Structure 1
Amino acid sequence: MWLSPDQLADRRERAATAALEAGRAAGLDADRATVLHDVFSVVVHLEPTPVVARIPVVLPPGYTPQLQHARQQRELDVVAWLDAHRVPVVPTSPLVPRTPVRHGGFGMTFWELADVAADHEPYSGVAIAESARLHAGLAGYPGPLPFLAPFNEAAPGMFAHLEPCDLLGAADIERARAEYAALRGVLADPTVFAARYPGVGLQAVQGDGPSHNVIRTTDGIRFSDFEDVSLGPVEWDLAMLGPEAVAEYDDAADRLGLRRTDAGVQQLMDAARRLQFISCVTLVPRLPVLAEGLASVIESWRATDSHAAPN
């Protein structure tokens, strides 16, 4: 059942109220929660404090509170490490403990309020060269991370729940599941991937299109939204951006002394990311705005040759 506008508004209000109550319980002198953003997560400013809460409201089927807590803790840890190493990120709030909080049925994290520039627009991308600079910073992250978490952690449950609908027919679902299973043969285990692609190193990657997950602030761009931070090849962060973007990245990588992308791995990441997007059809009833964007991805995928295994 698709959520109605009234139901979406109610979800937003409940998430904002939960964040305000959790912030007060953590010692913040907040008296209202002003919604800044509402898509996969509701993002609220806990006024008048300089604290922003991010509350995910659209989660994959079967995604337990324990899985969400681990995912959010990874993000907090990685961002704190990047901030300490002077990589431009939106930092965690120093006014509350650096740990996820669960309140009112919602898991949430707390962040420093950014001084947003006048020209900031959500999901408005920056030069791909910025992704190379981020990868240079992420390369040294010492903590443990799951391998390609968006592909391996969330997508299996979403594929299991796919049903024929306006966006996908039964034949589409059969093909997508077969292709996903074939790619999992290489992408479920980092040792298997490394054996297949021995010249391609693995490192911490942002996990969800870092060139578009930025906030323009009065002192420059800051990377945000590291919920999908993972161990993986840098090509994952360039998936589906196209050859011009990859060429721009390679030029920046040369200047920074980083590895240039591998064409075969980039093709593999493009295919994997496309299938991950297709699995997100299961989320459309809870986030109807997804439908239009996913429709174009599905049409592009239908135009590609069906294949059972990576090259």
Structure 2
Amino acid sequence: MLSTEQLAARTDRAVRAAVAAATDLGLQVDEPRVLYDVFSVIVHLRPAPVVARVPTVVPPSYRRNPQAQTAQQRAELDVTGWLAERGYPVVAPSPLTPREPVRREGFSMTFWQYVEHQRSAEPDMAARMAATARLHAALRDYPGELGFWAPFGTYIPEGLTRLRELPDVLPPADLERAQQEWAVIAPVLTSRDVFAATFPGVGVQPIHGDAPYHNMIGELWSDFELVTIGAVESDLAMTGPDAVAAYDAAAVGLGLRPTDPRVLAVTEAAGRLGIVAALAMAPELPMLIDGVAPMLDLWREAPPITRL
């Protein structure tokens, strides 16, 4: 596990890399300020109205194949830029830098418009669900190419494989259960043809990929790091029946299909496995162990998945 000092040093390296890259791009950066630091260091490059997102905790595949990370970051920049150009409420790529990931000192970073935001009280989930339906309606027309459920097909099996070496993080019995459950649901989430055959009539489309109702700054959608092709149910996993009902009401009003309970169940199962697999990054982000503990307990209490 990285120590507190090592985590702070990593943050400092990420900030220095962002400042150096921004300066090379012609930005004036006098007072960088870290806004957020978990999986990525988010730094406001003051006085420029630009925020750099510098991923610091990434899947092993990105370390082995940096081009895969660059490709996903390009997809995120392209999707958000496309939405912004059409007037949709989204945190947009910065117009002051090229719309392209920048690699510096071992980090691959992207640059975004700075948005002032005051955190409010508990968000209105019904309003967030309606906003998610509007986002899905907008994304249906996105013309670019995206992978099929890229987060599930990469992060979960990689994480479970790595957890074999971390028995102190996840007991072997839990790992065995997670691997068995992934074997059951993986075929429909890693093959578009298998998904279509298993759930005929349930279409797929570009989706946010990571709880869009949660990843909002005010009224603006943000953090499309996992943007992908998939079923809309994946963006609604584990929100609860009231939230799903609010989404369905808004979606039908927009000409979208309502959610399919079977697909929602599968994507929620995948979401829970994603939380388990995330523990593989605990050595680089020790807070994960306590952070996911409540969800891990709920997963253990639920019946194991043995079939679709």
TM-score bracket for the superposition, by shorter chain length: over 0.9
8 Å CA contact 1:167–1:295 kept in 2: the answer is: no
Aligned to 1:175: 177
Alpha-carbon distance in structure 1 between the residues aligned to 2:2 and 2:75: 30
69-78 vs 181-190, greater mean Cα deviation:
181-190
Aligned to 1:113: 114
Distance 1:79 1:123, change over 3 A: farther
In the TM superposition, what whole-angstrom CA distance separates every residue of 1:137-169 from its partner, at most 9, and x where no partner exists?
Answer: 111111111111110122221111013545521
- SS of alignment partner, residue 34 of structure 1: strand
- SS of alignment partner, residue 53 of structure 1: strand
Q: Name the amino acid aligned to 1:28.
A: L
Distance 1:162 1:231, change over 3 A: same
Q: How many residues align?
A: 304
Alpha-carbon distance in structure 2 between the residues aligned to 1:166 and 1:120: 38
- 1:249 lines up with 2:253 in the alignment: no
Q: Which runs of 5+ in 2 are unaligned?
A: none
- 1:82 lines up with 2:83 in the alignment: yes
8 Å CA contact 2:94–2:111 kept in 1: the answer is: yes
8 Å CA contact 1:131–1:249 kept in 2: the answer is: yes
3-12 vs 283-292, greater mean Cα deviation:
283-292
In the TM superposition, what whole-angstrom CA distance separates every residue of 1:168-224 from its partner, at most 9, and x where no partner exists?
Answer: 2111101101111221121111111011111111100000000010101xxxx1000
- 1:272 lines up with 2:273 in the alignment: no
- SS of alignment partner, residue 29 of structure 2: coil
Structure 1 residue 308 displacement after superposition: 2.9
Aligned to 1:8: 7
Q: Name the amino acid aligned to 1:198.
A: P
In the TM superposition, what whole-angstrom CA distance separates every residue of 1:244-296 from its partner, at most 9, and x where no partner exists?
Answer: 21111111112222110001110111111111111011011211222223211
- What is the identity percentage for the equivalent residue pairs of Structure 1 and Structure 2? 48
In the TM superposition, what whole-angstrom CA distance separates every residue of 1:93-112 from its partner, at most 9, and x where no partner exists?
Answer: 11111000000110000001
Q: Name the amino acid aligned to 1:147.
A: F
- SS of alignment partner, residue 62 of structure 1: helix
TM-score, reference length from structure 2: 0.94
Alpha-carbon distance in structure 2 between the residues aligned to 1:234 and 1:278: 22
- SS of alignment partner, residue 283 of structure 2: helix
- 1:142 lines up with 2:143 in the alignment: yes
Q: Name the amino acid aligned to 1:37.
A: Y
Structure 1 segment 127-206 matched on structure 2, within 5 A: 127-163=128-164, 164-206=166-208
Alpha-carbon distance in structure 2 between the residues aligned to 1:253 and 1:142: 21
Alpha-carbon distance in structure 2 between the residues aligned to 1:74 and 1:114: 21
138-147 vs 163-172, greater mean Cα deviation:
163-172
TM-score, reference length from structure 1: 0.93
184-193 vs 97-106, greater mean Cα deviation:
184-193
Alpha-carbon distance in structure 2 between the residues aligned to 1:39 and 1:140: 32
202-211 vs 148-157, greater mean Cα deviation:
148-157
Alpha-carbon distance in structure 2 between the residues aligned to 1:120 and 1:16: 27
Alpha-carbon distance in structure 1 between the residues aligned to 2:203 and 2:304: 28
Distance 1:79 1:135, change over 3 A: same
Distance 1:124 1:32, change over 3 A: farther
8 Å CA contact 2:45–2:51 kept in 1: the answer is: yes
Distance 1:69 1:8, change over 3 A: same
Structure 1 residue 7 displacement after superposition: 1.1
Alpha-carbon distance in structure 2 between the residues aligned to 1:120 and 1:43: 20
